[in-house]
A and B are shown apart, each in its own frame.
Chain A
Amino acid sequence: MKLLRFIRRHADCCYAEFTRIVRQPLGSLMTMSAIGLALALPAGLSAALSNAEGLAAAWGEARSFSIYLKGGTGVAVAEQLAADLERNPAVGAVRRISPAEALAIMEGRSEFAGALETMADNPLPWTLVVTPAPAAADTEFLVLKTTLATLDEVDEVLADTEWLQRLGALLTLAGQALLLVLFMVLVALVVIIGNTIRLEVQKQDGALEVLALLGASRGYMRRPFLYQGFWYGLGGGLVALGLVRLGIWGLGGSFSELMALYDSERVLSGAGWRQDLLILGLGVLTGWLGAWRAVAGQMRRIG
């Protein structure tokens, strides 16, 4: 019974504050927009990061590398090495490119056409393009690369995956920067909401004193302001999610065009429902903390 009464009191207060906010649509919308804009920054960054991570993961799957055999290496040696590689569980596929095939490819490229005509012999070596098995671990594949580089018949092993590693490191850094931005935004939000609610508290100063004289506890006096903060935070969170959705919708076309250039059908997406919930939760938390901060000083003054 006591619990029911407690829940009812809170529900009544929560609803009363909702109607109070609705009755002041312009002011409330401005406050929520300010919160929403501030929250949209980390939310948007989070969505961008999530898309970049997905892209990097997709590119990472294509971590093939090329083995250039020494000049003059015969077809038998190349075939033997290719066969050995195909038996390795870390290897998914091996593509053989003979010197003649390589030359034909080079000749097809206009920038090399003139240079190749001046050469008497074909200088290009046998090339094996190795694609890892989907389940192969990075470390397993790295060991294979290192081993191959030490073979007598191998001139050079070239893998173009370093940029992916750099991209991965950059994304990790961006993730950490995002946390920092998020922290700063949350602090700013606590200040913004705290200030907004402090003005409301100051308007209600006389009423709070009367309530204190009538025996109201601090919790009772604080409650409406905390729910006010809750609604501002929730509204701000919804504005932020709306802005991020708008951004994704606006940039989606350009992103798809960019992906088409890389033969990818990937589309720009949000950060997912968990992040959406997190944004809403952070909005509510900052609203609540801001309200608490605004009321705390007044409570101390009233005594």
Chain B
Amino acid sequence: MRTRPRCCFGGMAGEYHFARLMIRLQHVTMRYRGGAEALSEVSLSVEPGEFTYLTGPSGAGKTTLIKLLAAIERPTRGQVFVLGRNVGRLGRRAVCRHRRNIGIVFQNNLLLEDRSAFENVALPLHISGLGPREVRRRTEAALDSVGLLRSARKSPRLLSQGEQQRLGIARAVVNRPELLIADEPTGNLDPDLSREVMRLFHRMAGYGVTALVATHDPGLIEVLPGRRISLADGQIHSDTAPS
């Protein structure tokens, strides 16, 4: 394993490189109101097409970092760039557009139980205003890619936990995002299902999607390829390139 340089460019060439980066955090500090610092002076960058694991124990700052990338929170200090945009400064409408351009997988799925699997996956497409034919085509393709096309009409309630998580992944990728971020996607799953979900992420990354997956379980990703950024107490503890 080798440790990656945190930041290495300067001048015009550096600016050009930064604009092409998928994710760039510059001296980001995040302090919740009345709480301790969740992130402290964190700087990192992720290249397009890179598969990155964000690891660390509970309270290390993984979820906060994911929230900053999804513009759910704004940094107290520093700058967060995603797809070349400073997401900490986005207006309300721009935040909506930003979230439509990235795919997010949540630990507890956040599936709507009063809608079918198909309707859940089709949600981002409806939000983006796509026509019904395109919605149908892309949704079926996404469901097929996670092996759930046959369960399209089922309610998420009737699906197993592993299937629910796969449904969450299908929903995250249905809009063909350039960036896929996941916050503890295997948190509620047994080891076998967790490995299955992680393999699914790798398959998605195979289509050129940049992926950032947060997990507290280093054992799960031990044998899987990908860059590993380890957080501890709100700071980057280690950053290792794929072996």
Contact = CB atoms under 8 A, between A and B. Distances in A.
B127 A214 contact: yes
Given A215-B98, A215-B124, A9 B110 contact: no
Interface residues of B, number: 24
A209 B106 CA distance: 13
Interface in A1-36: 5, 8-9
Interface in A120-176: none
Interface in A204-259: 206-207, 209-218, 220
Given A5-B129, A5-B131, A9-B129, A214 B112 contact: no
Given A5-B129, A220-B127, A215 B112 contact: no
A201 to B, nearest CB: 14
Contacts of A218: 92
B127 A211 contact: yes
Nearest to A203: B114
A72 B97 CA distance: 99
B97, B106, B123 — most chain A CB neighbours (10 Å):
B123
A210 B127 contact: no
B70 interface: yes
A273 to B, nearest CB: 38
Contacts of A214: 99-100, 104, 123-124, 127, 171
Contacts of A212: 99
Given A210-B110, A210-B112, A211-B123, A216 B129 contact: no
Contacts of A213: 70, 72, 99, 104, 106, 110
B93 interface: yes
Contacts of B129: 5, 9
Contacts of B241: none
Contacts of A209: 110
B155 to A, nearest CB: 14
A161 B96 CA distance: 69
A168 to B, nearest CB: 55
A9 B96 CA distance: 18
Contacts of A215: 95-101, 124, 127-128
Interface in B121-137: 123-124, 127-129, 131
B104 A216 contact: no
B103 to A, nearest CB: 9
A75 B129 CA distance: 92
Nearest to B95: A215
Contacts of B93: 217
**3 interchain residue pairs of minimum CB distance:** A215-B99, A215-B100, A216-B127
Given A8-B131, A213-B99, 14 more contacts: A9-B129, A210-B110, A211-B123, A213-B70, A213-B72, A213-B106, A214-B99, A214-B104, A214-B123, A215-B98, A215-B99, A215-B124, A217-B93, A218-B92
